[in-house]
Structure 1
Amino acid sequence: MPKPEHALPESPVRWPLASVCAIVFVAWLALSWPWLSGTLTIPWDAKAHFHPQLQFLADAWHKGLSPFWTPYVFSGSPQVADPQSLIFSPSFALIALLNPAPDFRWSDGAVLGTLLLGALSIVLIFRDRGWHPAGAVVAALAFAFGAAAAWRIQHVGQVLSLGYFAVTLVLLSRALERGSIGYGFAAGIVSGFMVLGRDQVALLAVYVLAGLVIAAILMAQSPWRAFRASLPPLIAGTLGAVLVATIPILLTAFIAQESNRPVIDFVEAGKGSLHPAALLTGLFANLYGAAGPLADFWGAPSPAWEARFGPLSLFLARNMSQLYLGLLPMGLILTVGLVRGALWRREIVPLTVATLIVLLFALGRYTPAFRVLFELPGISFYRRPADALFILGALLALLGGYLTHLVMTGTAPKARPWQIAFEALIFTGALALALWLAWTVGRIPVATISLVIAALCGMLSLGGLIAAHGLAKRGSALAATLVLAATLTIDLAVNNGPSESTALPAKMYDVLRKDSSNDTIALLKRETARTAAPDRRDRIELAGIDFHWPNASLVHDLDNTLGYNPLRLGLYTKATGAGDHVALPDQRTFSPLMPGYRSLLADMLGLRFIATGVPVEQIDKRLKPGDLKQIARTKDAFVYENPHALPRVLLVTDARKADFDAILKTGAWPEGFDPRRTVLLDRDPPPLPTGPLGPDSVAIRDYGTTTVTLAAETARGGYLVLNDVWHHWWQVEIDGKPAELLRANVLFRAVVVPPGKSTVRFVFRPLDGLWQDIVAHLRKPPANQPG
């Protein structure tokens, strides 16, 4: 790595690592306490999506079941290939092992704890470089509680990737500086967990880390010697990453080919760009009212903004454009860093260049650079360039901490008169632009509050910096560190503290507690238990109740036809119309094959009970009186029963070949088709043994997550149909011997059973399935050759 130009002597007295880490921990605890206390909780996706995933994981393990498949959302989903299932997240997996029913403080604590781990890693980076401890604390707190890390804390997977990025950075730095294979291997392990997030933050982090490694080699006194010295730790790191990440990534890659998630084209990706006006939030945290009620928000792309400046075709939530990480680090970046040129010093210039490239990426379609950056491998899988604010915030935090180090050590460049004038012009210009925008959009009252707070925090930051500099000059490095830690903690608490985007009362999410007494959930549990039978396991649907309801079925072990997940099996989406979410009534879309609740596919799914936030006729306008029976009106929902729901397992003796693609497209079943007597297959039906007819029966003996055991008895044999979602990673055995898994009735599983009594066992084996997929892919001829 480039050798530091201005380093402190490595003295335990001047750089007390334990004390500095304690300062960071105390500040972290103060800033995290609103969530850790249990009064507030991280809302939105953190609860609606991720906490139910944690509860399912804990529940499965404590019941001795596999978490690799869940029957509780989308009529069955391959959790093992879902990057957001938390199975491969060490912190969440540990929580699941320790606690069968983790409450919100556990899941919130895992997220905040990951940010603490990243912050402490930042401290180690500064310690290794010999930079001032005050800079380390500024960088650590800005990293953990600045920009997207604070404003988008509900996006759990991306926050985890951000934390692993910081840990990987310190381990990789040590590996290269010391030529250490051990540190290299450790960096690879951590980076493996980072890329397991399979999100855009992890992808951008990989590019940044690779760029920094290349820069370190090229900037060495002897690049060839540096390259040779770096090979052992880099090879060790590659090995560590491969060991951790290869199989999960391959599982996701193959599932993605069968999922609802297409590649994002350039135009669609551009709709997630950071608007240039959002850069003002680097100085004025809540300028656009993102922290308050949604009606107060007036930034791009709000209705208020578009009414004045025209349509933007941007699809960003109000918290996705927030860059604030404290006036202290941001002020130093603009003045000491940019105007006075300190960011171009040799020891920091790779980070500066990386920051500029990531900023250009975040701005997306607003700069021509995005056209080039979009061609990088993997970028087209993601829809929001603005997600780069996670990595951008981390890089800016490092730069702000470095510049703090220069000020504390008296090595910052002295300002010339014209530079002071230009710095003043930057701040007054930003203030004038903010006021003009607020006046133009008609939101001066909202903006004024933010600007006044910014002015007060600016005075606080300037006073804290002057005081800390004076203490540092007198040799009181730790006292200077405490002053800046307190200053930045107050700043971040005021500007990036709990808001509607990041913290809501925990009681709002009571239905997601394992011990919830919610009357709708209690009713659905009673009713599904009442209608259970040897061949029946009824499904429910939760539609249009509230944002956090769709995945409640994961918490309460209810077989749900819907859920909340941006990644689903494409076949299921096409067959049922299931979307990412169903928080609002109009988000429940149907399909040609399932045009409504009164349809044959709904019956075949065993959809017996439907809970909706509005009368069901407002969701399914095709319903006629008497199609569904209302059985309850709870505090949250209208609850209906579909008396036509079919059993989960059927035994039939007739089979026909059918064109499943045509059925999916038209929604038309073959004439006279009755799933109680006939099964449709996508191939010529296997022959059945001949023999006399007799009574047939089938019963569910054991229903787990990745295994379903059935008992069948038939005089002449037949087709056993399990109305669970088909996927080729499922296998089937009859009396312990492998049998052929058939795709039945477009969406379901079937197998031919012999005469007599049989034990049929369906087993989900993703590793076997993955291996077969890899072999088939390798054997597939190139596209330009005949197959």
Structure 2
Amino acid sequence: MARRVLAGLGLACLYAAVFLAFHPAIVRGEVFLGWDAVNEHWGDLLVPLHALQAGELPLWNPHERGGYDFLADPQTGVLYPFNWLVWLAAALFGEGPWVVLFKTLLHVAIGGLGTHLLLARLGLSAPAQALGGFAFVLSGRVAKAKDSAGLWSPVWLPWLVLTGLELVRRPSPRSGLAFGAATAMAFLSGYPPNFFRDLVGLAPVLLVALVLVVRGLPHARRHLARVAGAGALAVGVVVGLALPNIVATLAWLPETVREQLDFAEVVFSTATPLHLFDALAPGTWRDGAPVHYLGAVVLLLAVFAVRRDALRITYAACALLFFLLACGDGSPLLPFLARHVPGFGLWRIPAQYFFGFAFFVAVLAAHGLDDLVRAEPGRRRALARRLALVFAPACLGLLVALAWSRAPASTGLAALFVAVGGACLGGLLSARPGLRRAAAPALLGVVLLELKVQARSIHAIAQKPPDLARDAAIATLDDTVGWRVADDEHWRWRVGARLGVRDIFGRNSTLVTRRWRAFHARAREHAGLLAAANVRWYVGGHRLAVQRTAAGRSRWTPGRPVELLDAAPFAYWTPRVEQVERESDALDRLAELPPGSAAVLEAPALTDDVRAALAGLRPDHAPVAATLDEFARNRVALTVDAPAAGVLVIHEAWASGWIARVDGAPAPVLRANYLFRGLLVGPGRHTVELEYRPPRLGAALAVYGLTALLVLVGLIRLPRRTGP
């Protein structure tokens, strides 16, 4: 067992190391990962680490957007065990941007190892296993996704097929637990669109495999019953491990902007079926990075592998299906499915379907190489003819395409690689043992060289390493808990999430609230709205507009953030209440009032008891700032001396999961000042406590823990079935 684990870790490290070697500029420190990796995911990785270091659960993130439910955003991956490895590494070796590179390499290793083990379980030879693994993780789609969340779920597709085939062929409690665990990992990794796409490719493979298995069994019903039992156990595992995310997301969803996407956004793609030419030679048909490229030799080997075998035909059909889906509105398939089949209309970026195309082509190519490696002497001549029928026309066609190619150098190189690769494959059919032994390693070298040369435009996609000078300036600001910053350049590596600075802006994800998005759109250039949200420091690209709207109530030193001198305190008591009828009216009124002078409440959301209490308020006193006694992620404690009955406004975002106690007695949490919280308090000194307790989340977390323990014990203790 230990030997197998060590061998698996060695293989995983090999795939990660080769992937990193394909990006030497990153190794040299000249460039780094781009886009989402450092702009978004770096912050998401550090928020839970800081919470756990403080002895808290990462349920609520108070350091962006006025606060939001961190667990409810699937992309944060709080319950994903492989994120825990990244947190551990960051805790031990520092929190620099390298942590997102480590996560990327970790997922490349997961994808490569999963493909390798799947091909081994299918009985393929060692060269075929290596070819399939490298073809998948070095494909253009994976190389492009090194910077985005799109990578995380697709690398689990090989594991889903591996464990799913085991369940279909040898159903048992152990295989059910394994399949459920792999499926849960694909879900918990944090990118629901590609989890759905994984299932699209998985379903036909398992269905065909099940038909093939039961067709040859004398007791088919008994086997189907075992499959159903193991499948039910797998579903239970997935639900148990995903339940906290599901509960949190469904509770948060009504507040968010996540609605049905516009149809044009769902199906928009720059690819068309004719771009399959670029899978042979990047740039032959269109300009741009070849996101679906995985090597001409690999693609032709996949074509060579297709024969009258139900599973191989299924792999080929899945590859074609994913390619056509990736074409979006360039093909009629996805528009039809998006209109008529639930699920397909929920996700944008059809190019993400190229992950499935890359995986199934890689699996087919491995089968093709295995056919040649294991060729019996009597079959070698027939295989040689088939090989020539695939490779010779492709090479000739590429040479002809040089005349009209958009990238003649790439097309010519493709022809060269096809010719050399075909020669290596022909060597596998030679009568000379030495030539046969050298042919497979030579082919792997050709494939790696081809992917390195032809996909260099994909590998070159990167951005400059983060310059953290801005962090130093923000970290030296005055009291970073009592006051907020407003960093409207949230793409600058999410300083709030990483440094624990309370930022009213932050990552504009798919699950932001409607109110925050409207506030963000107006407040970037409106000093009054920023000050009313407890913002003391503005950092970003709209400095002049903010200073202008501050009308003399700001201070600025070159190289420093703009300081807003009349910012409202963290919390304040006021007897002055402004009631409005509509959500938009609340934002308009907040922009008109002096910061920290009143409480703006929305009348339709108030209960009769609250209305009666508000009717008795008398605005005879000036606002009074509250004292902040405790500030934690899921808890806030304050003290306030109220001269009379009034409303305590707390500049932390409202959410239904927050409960409050005033002097130990429960109190309703009102929505105040558009984004924030309000509490009714009477005259006198009061102790106020707020705690984040989303309903049913505690029970869901308990189910998660019990399910994880069941899976772990079951996979260790339960025996593996060896027979059909």
Q: Could you tell me the TM-score, scaled by structure 2's length?
A: 0.84
Give 1:459 deviation, angstroms: 4.1
Tell me, yes or no, if structure 1 residue 524 matches structure 2 residue 477. no
Q: 1:330 aligns with which of 299, 306, 313?
A: 299
Asked if structure 2 preserves the Cα contact closer than 8 Å seen for 1:285 and 1:450, the reply is yes
Supply the AA of the counterpart residue of 2:526: Y
- Residue-by-residue CA offset, 1:570-606 (whole Å, 9 max, x unaligned): 3333431x3xxxxxxxxxxx34xx483233x322112
SS in 2 for 1:711: strand
Moved more, 29-38 or 695-704: 29-38
SS at match of 1:527: coil
Per-residue displacement from partner, 1:680-720 (whole Å, max 9, x unpaired)?
24325352799998895521111111211111222444311
For 1:97 and 1:219, the matched residues in 2 are separated by: 44
Return the letter of the residue paired with 1:77: Y
Residue 153 of structure 1: SS of its match in structure 2?
A: helix
- How many angstroms apart in 2 are the aligned matches of 1:751 and 1:413? 84
Match of 1:561 among 504, 507, 531: 504
Shift of 1:111: 2.1
Which one-letter code corresponds to 2:597 in the other structure? Answer: R
Distance 2:255 2:580 in 1: 21
Percent of aligned pairs sharing the same letter: 19
Matched, 1:389 2:354: yes
Matched AA of 1:667? D
Contact 2:396–2:415 (CA under 8 A) maintained in structure 1? no
Give the equivalent residue in structure 1 for 2:255: 258
Letter in 1 for 2:566: H
Residue pair 2:44, 2:76 contacting (<8 A) in 1 also: yes
Instruction: Please point out which of 161, 166, 169 is paired with 2:161.
Output: 169
Q: How big is the shift at 1:660? A: 3.2
Alignment match, 1:232: 229
Return the match for 2:322 from 351, 358, 373: 358
- 2:241 paired residue number: 244
1:199 aligned to which of 189, 192, 195: 192
Distance 1:698 1:409, change over 3 A: same
Q: What residue in structure 2 maps to residue 313 of structure 1?
A: none
Contact 2:128–2:367 (CA under 8 A) maintained in structure 1: yes
Q: Equivalent residue of 1:392, what SS?
A: helix
Q: CA deviation at 1:427?
A: 4.5
What is the match of residue 601 of structure 2? 680
Q: Which moved more, 1:76-85 or 1:418-427?
A: 418-427
Tell me if the contact between 1:605 and 1:723 (Cα under 8 Å) persists in the aligned partners.
Answer: yes
The CA deviation at 1:627 is: 4.8
Task: Name the structure 2 match of 1:509.
Answer: 466
- Secondary structure, counterpart of 2:478 in structure 1: helix
* Alignment partner of 1:631 out of 551, 556, 562: 556
Rounded to whole Å, the distance in 2 between the matches of 1:555 and 1:490 is: 39
- Asked whether the 8 Å contact 1:712–1:758 carries over to 2, the reply is yes
- Asked whether the equivalents of residues 201 and 318 of structure 2 are also in contact (C-alpha less than 8 Å), the reply is yes
State the distance in 2 between where 1:539 and 1:671 align: 20
Output the CA distance in 2 between the equivalents of 1:675 and 1:376. Answer: 51
Partner AA of 1:352 in structure 2? A
> Within 2, Cα distance between the matches of 1:595 and 1:109?
34
Structure 1's 413 and 164: CA in aligned 2 closer, same or farther, altered over 3 A? farther
What pairs with 1:412-561 in structure 2 (closer than 5 Å)? 414=382, 420=388, 424-429=392-397, 432=400, 436=404, 438=406, 447-470=407-430, 474=433, 481-496=440-455, 502-504=461-463, 508-511=465-468, 518=469, 520-529=470-479, 537-544=482-489, 548-549=491-492, 551-561=494-504
Q: 1:628 to 1:474 in 2, by over 3 A?
A: farther
Q: What residue is the counterpart of 1:9 in the other structure?
A: none
Contiguous gaps of at least 5 residues in structure 2: 701-724
Partner of 1:269: 266
Structure-1 residue corresponding to 2:567 = 645
In the alignment, the residues of structure 2 paired with residue 765 and residue 164 of structure 1 have an alpha-carbon distance, to the nearest angstrom, of 32
**Structure 1, 99-108 or 34-43: larger mean CA deviation:** 34-43
CA displacement at 1:730 relative to structure 2 = 1.6
Cα distance in 2, alignment partners of residues 418 and 459 from structure 1: 15
Matched, 1:598 2:527: yes
Determine helix, strand or coil for the equivalent of 1:722: strand
Residue of structure 1 aligned with 2:140, choices 133, 136, 147 = 147
Structure 1 position 182 matched with structure 2 position 174: yes
Partner of 2:341: 376
Q: CA deviation at 1:80?
A: 0.7
- How much does 1:47 deviate? 0.9
Maintained 8 Å contact 1:720/1:750: yes
Compared CA separation, residues 66 and 19, structure 1 to 2 (3 A): closer
**Cα 1:134–1:44 shift into 2, 3 Å:** same
Corresponding residue of 1:702: 630
Superposed, 1:300-311 pairs within 5 Å as: none
- Using the TM superposition, give the Cα deviation of residue 256 of structure 1 relative to its aligned residue in structure 2, in angstroms: 3.2
**1:552 Cα deviation after fit:** 2.3
When residues 754 and 413 of structure 1 are mapped into structure 2, their CA distance, relative to the original with a 3 A threshold, is farther
Letter in 1 for 2:410: S
Q: Give the drift of 1:423.
A: 5.4
1:729/1:768 contact within 8 Å kept: no
Provide the rounded CA distance (Å) in 1 between the counterparts of 2:8 and 2:137: 15
Partner secondary structure for residue 661 of structure 2? strand
| 1:463–1:419 Cα change, 3 Å | closer
- The answer to whether the 8 Å contact 1:679/1:719 transfers is no
Q: Which runs of 5+ in 1 are unaligned?
A: 1-15, 289-297, 300-317, 439-446, 512-517, 579-589, 773-787
Q: CA RMSD in A?
A: 3.6
Give the aligned length. 676
- TM-superposed CA distance for 1:669, in Å, is 5.5
Q: Distance in 1 between matches of 2:533 and 2:554?
A: 18
Question: CA separation in 1, counterparts of 2:565 and 2:651?
Answer: 17
Q: Secondary structure at 2:146's aligned position in 1?
A: coil
Q: 1:459 to 1:253 in 2, by over 3 A?
A: farther
Higher mean C-alpha deviation, range 345-354 or range 667-676? 667-676
TM-score, structure 1 normalization: 0.77
The letter for the 2-side match of 1:207 is V
- Gap change, CA 1:453 and 1:768, over 3 Å in 2: same
Q: Deviations over 1:81-107 (max 9, x none)?
A: 111113122122232145333333333
With over 3 angstroms needed to count, the CA separation of the structure-2 counterparts of 1:753 and 1:216, relative to structure 1, is same
Q: Which whole-Å CA distance do the structure 2 matches of 1:274 and 1:250 have between them?
A: 37
